[in-house]
């Protein structure tokens, strides 16, 4: 079977690329750590997004979160790489952004990607958490889609509650006030809302279960086309079970709840080979 090649993109300040690389590799894919400068011809060995099936932007503090988290990383992509990014999607590839990567995809305008709604303004933003603090702890995510519905979570049943850690300062999903209801309705219709923060009963519980104050407790979304996905929590940190603090004492399990996302991506991309 042909390799499923994933570009794990980084710049200065990215700090989750290694565990993201490991998650892609352990899920059967062929990941490569690539610096943005290798894709823009400013560093050797040169690379091209044409050679990848998946573009993954991992977590971290790219460019020190100056201006806004993800803003500078996005500006550098937008200035030199946007055509290659769109070509990857047109070829049937997938794009994933986790935490800082999600912030980059929102800054690029790829999320929420409400294609039939064109506005001059960004369609969404990730603001500073309501607590005004960096929130770092386990979070519980309820899967809002059907099993098999999204290429990013096809292995996860509807209503499943996943234990996936969060660690961020700017994770609050907000929409432009005048479009908020319209956009949320569109996103519900388009099945773009993938995960919501919940309490242990699986209900929407507000803070601290929702660490940032995101509207409707939204934790992860796709674009309207369904080929770009972003989430604030870090599934790569719980690919293996050892990092799952809520694992019952004595419970022997090899993998954490994050593995299903990487397995879903592999299943989708390998089925296209």
Q: Catalytic: 7? A: no
DSSP one-letter string for 61-92: -GGGG-SSTTHHHHHHHHHHTHHHHHHHHHTT
Q: What is the pattern of x (binds ligand GLN, CB under 6 A) and - over residues 72-101? A: ---------------------------xx-
CB 153 within 8 A of CB 96: no
- Pattern 171-210, binding to ligand GLN, x per CB under 6 A? x---------------------------------------
Q: Report, in this order, helix, strand and coil percent for the chain, each rounded to 5.
A: 30, 25, 45
Instruction: Write down the catalytic residue from 7, 16, 54, 99.
Output: 99
Residue 20 near ligand GLN by CB under 6 A? no
Between β-strands 228-231 and 161-168, what pairing exists: parallel, antiparallel or unpaired?
A: unpaired
Asked whether position 168 contacts ligand GLN by CB under 6 A, the answer is yes
Q: Which stretch binds ligand GLN (CB under 6 A): 56-64, 107-115, 175-183, 190-198?
A: 56-64
Question: Binding residues for ligand GLN, how many (CB under 6 A)?
Answer: 13
Selected range binding ligand GLN among 25-33, 57-65, 152-160, 259-267, rule: CB under 6 A: 57-65
How many CA atoms within 13 Å lie on the side-chain side of 123? 22
* Rounded least distance, CB 132 to ligand GLN, Å: 12
Q: Does 263 bind ligand GLN (CB under 6 A)?
A: no
Residue 120: CB partners within 8 Å, gap ≥ 6? none
* Pairing mode of beta strands 5-10, 30-35: parallel
Instruction: Decide if residue 231 touches ligand GLN (CB under 6 A).
Output: no
Q: How far is the CB of 189 from ligand GLN (least distance, A)?
A: 29
Q: Which residue is nearest to ligand GLN (CB)?
A: 59
The CB density around residue 45, as the number of other CB atoms within 10 Å, is 6
Ramachandran angles phi, psi of 124, nearest 5°: -165, 160
Q: Which of 163, 151, 145, 143 is nearest to 234 (CA)?
A: 163
Count the residues in the chain.
273
Contact with ligand GLN (CB under 6 A) among 19, 65, 144, 236? 65
Choose, by CB under 6 A, the member of 36, 167, 221, 261 that binds ligand GLN. Answer: 167
Q: Write down the least CB distance from residue 212 to ligand GLN, Å.
A: 9
CB of 120 to ligand GLN, least distance (A): 26
Cα torsion 3, 267, 115, 14: sign: negative
Q: How far apart are CA 122 and CA 26, in angstroms?
A: 36
Least distance from ligand GLN to the Cβ atom of residue 63, Å: 10
Report the catalytic residues: 99, 234, 236
- What does the binding site for ligand GLN look like in residue numbers (CB under 6 A)? 59-61, 65, 69, 99-100, 134, 167-171
């Amino acid at each position: 079977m042909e390799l499923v090649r994933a570009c794990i993109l980084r710049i200065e300040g990215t700090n989750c690329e290694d565990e993201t690389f490991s998650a892609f590799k352990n899920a059967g894919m062929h990941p490569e750590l690539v610096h943005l400068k290798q894709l823009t011809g400013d560093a050797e060995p040169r690379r091209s997004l044409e050679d990848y099936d998946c573009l993954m932007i991992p977590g971290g503090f790219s460019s020190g979160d100056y201006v806004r988290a993800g803003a500078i990383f996005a500006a550098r992509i937008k200035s030199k790489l946007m055509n290659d990014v769109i070509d990857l999607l047109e070829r049937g590839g997938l794009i994933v952004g986790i935490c800082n990567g999600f912030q980059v995809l929102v800054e690029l305008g790829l999320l929420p990607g409400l294609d039939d709604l064109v506005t001059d303004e960004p369609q969404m933003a990730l603001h500073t958490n309501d607590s005004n603090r960096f929130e770092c702890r386990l979070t519980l995510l309820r899967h809002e889609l059907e099993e098999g519905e999204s290429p990013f979570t096809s292995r996860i049943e509807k209503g499943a509650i996943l234990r996936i850690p969060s660690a961020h300062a700017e994770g609050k999903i907000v929409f432009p006030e005048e479009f908020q209801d319209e956009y949320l309705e569109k996103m519900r219709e388009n099945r773009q809302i993938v995960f919501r923060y919940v309490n242990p009963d699986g209900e929407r519980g507000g803070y601290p279960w929702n660490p940032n104050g995101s509207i409707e407790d939204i934790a992860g979304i796709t674009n309207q086309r369904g080929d770009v996905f972003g989430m604030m929590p870090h599934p790569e940190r719980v690919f293996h079970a050892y990092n799952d603090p809520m694992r019952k004492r004595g419970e022997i399990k090899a993998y954490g709840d994050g593995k299903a996302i990487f397995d879903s991506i592999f299943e989708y991309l390998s089925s296209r080979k």
